[in-house]
Structure 1
Amino acid sequence: MAQGQHEVDFCTLGMFILDDIDFGGSRPGVKNILGGAASFAVVGARLVSGSEYAQSVSWIVDVGSDFPPETLDVIKSWNTDCLFREDFSRLTTRAWNGYHPNEKRDFKYLTPKLRLEPEMLSDTQMWSKTFHMRREELHKAGKAPSTLDASKRPVFVWEPVPDLCTPEEQEKFFSANQAVDVVSPNHMEIGMMFDQPGWTENSDESQKLVQKIIDSGIGHDGNGLLVIRAGKDGSYAYSKISKIWLPAYHQPDASGATSVLDPTGAGNSFLGALAQGMVSTGREPFQAIDSVLSHSETWKKALNSWGNFQHHPMALICATVAAGFVVEQIGVPQIDVDGNGRELWNQSEFTERVRLYTQRLLKTLEESPQKHLLTN
Structure 2
Amino acid sequence: MGDGDSSARGEDEVDFCTLGMFIIDDIEFEGSRPPVYGIIGGAGSFAVVGARMVAGKEHGKAVSWILDVGSDFPEDMMNIIQSWGTGCIIREDKERLTTRAWNGYGANEKRDFKYLTPKLRLEPSMLSHSQLFSKTFHMVCSSERCVNIVQEILHKRKSLQEHAPSLSASNPIFVWEPVPDRCTPEDQEKFLAACQMVDLVSPNELELGMMFGRPGWNAADEEDRELVRKILQSGIGLDRQGCLVIRAGKDGSYSYSKGRKGLWLPAYYQPQLGESSKVIDPTGAGNSFLGALVQGMISEGRQSHTLLDTTLTTSSHWDEIKTTWGNDGQVPKAMICATVAAGFVVEQIGVPSVSKAANGRETWNGTEFIERLRIYTQRLCKTLEQSSQSHDWLID
Q: Does 1:20 align with 2:41?
A: no
- In structure 1, what is the equivalent of residue 238 of structure 2? 220
The corresponding residue for 1:188 is: 206
1:112-151 equivalences in 2 (<5 Å):
112-131=118-137, 132=150, 133=153, 134-142=156-164, 146=166, 150-151=168-169
| Residue 230, structure 1, aligned to residue 248, structure 2 | yes
Structure 1 residues 49-128: aligned runs within 5 Å: 49-128=55-134
Question: Who is 2:146 aligned against?
Answer: none
One-letter amino acid of the structure 1 residue matched with residue 230 of structure 2: K
Residue identity (%): 61
- Alpha-carbon separation, structure 1, partners of 2:225 and 2:126: 40
- Trace 1:1-376 onto structure 2 (pairs within 5 A): 1-3=4-6, 4=9, 5-131=11-137, 132=150, 133=153, 134-142=156-164, 146=166, 150-242=168-260, 243-252=262-271, 257-308=276-327, 310-368=329-387, 369-375=390-396
How far is 1:48 from its partner? 0.2
TM-score, structure 2 as length reference: 0.91
The DSSP-based 3-state class of the residue aligned with 2:208 is: helix
**C-alpha distance in 1, partners of 2:161/2:391?**
47
Unaligned segments of structure 2, at least 5 residues: 138-149
Q: Distance in 2 between matches of 1:216 and 1:269?
A: 27
**Structure 1: runs of 5+ lacking an equivalent:** none
1:68 and 1:50 mapped to 2: Cα distance? 26
Q: TM-score, normalised by structure 1?
A: 0.96
Number of equivalences: 371
Summarize deviations over 1:96-124 as a string: whole Å, max 9, x none.
Answer: 00001111100000000000110000111
CA distance in 1, matches of 2:253, 2:273: 22
Q: CA deviation at 1:339?
A: 1.9
Is the contact made by 1:251 and 1:258 (CA closer than 8 Å) also made in structure 2? no
Q: Matches of 2:48 and 2:196 in 1, distance apart?
A: 25
2:268–2:343: 8 Å Cα contact kept in structure 1? yes
1:308 Cα offset (Å): 3.0
Deviation string, structure 1 residues 173-195 (Cα, Å, up to 9, x no partner) = 00000000000000000000000
Distance 2:273 2:48 in 1: 34
SS for the counterpart of 1:188 is helix
**CA-CA distance at 1:319 after TM superposition:** 0.3
The answer to whether the Cα contact below 8 Å between 1:250 and 1:258 also exists between their aligned partners in 2 is no
What SS does the aligned partner of 1:258 have?
A: helix
Amino acid across the alignment from 1:164: R
State which drifts further: 106-115 or 293-302: 293-302
Secondary structure in 1 matching 2:379: helix
8 A Cα contact 1:274 1:315, kept in partner:
yes
Q: Distance in 1 between matches of 2:42 and 2:60?
A: 20
Out of 11-20 and 127-136, give the one that drifted further: 127-136
Question: 1:139, CA displacement in angstroms?
Answer: 2.0
Residues 106 and 367 from structure 1, CA distance in 2 versus in 1: closer, same or farther, beyond 3 angstroms?
Answer: same
Q: State the Cα distance separating 1:254 from its structure 2 match.
A: 5.7
- The answer to whether the 8 Å contact 1:241/1:305 transfers is no
Name the amino acid aligned to 1:370. Answer: H
Give the C-alpha shift of residue 256 in structure 1: 6.0
Query: Secondary structure at 1:236's aligned position in 2?
Result: strand
Aligned-partner Cα distance in 2 for 1:291–1:319: 18
Q: 1:255 Cα deviation (Å)?
A: 5.2
SS class of match (2:278): coil
Amino acid at match of 1:317: I
SS at match of 1:11: strand
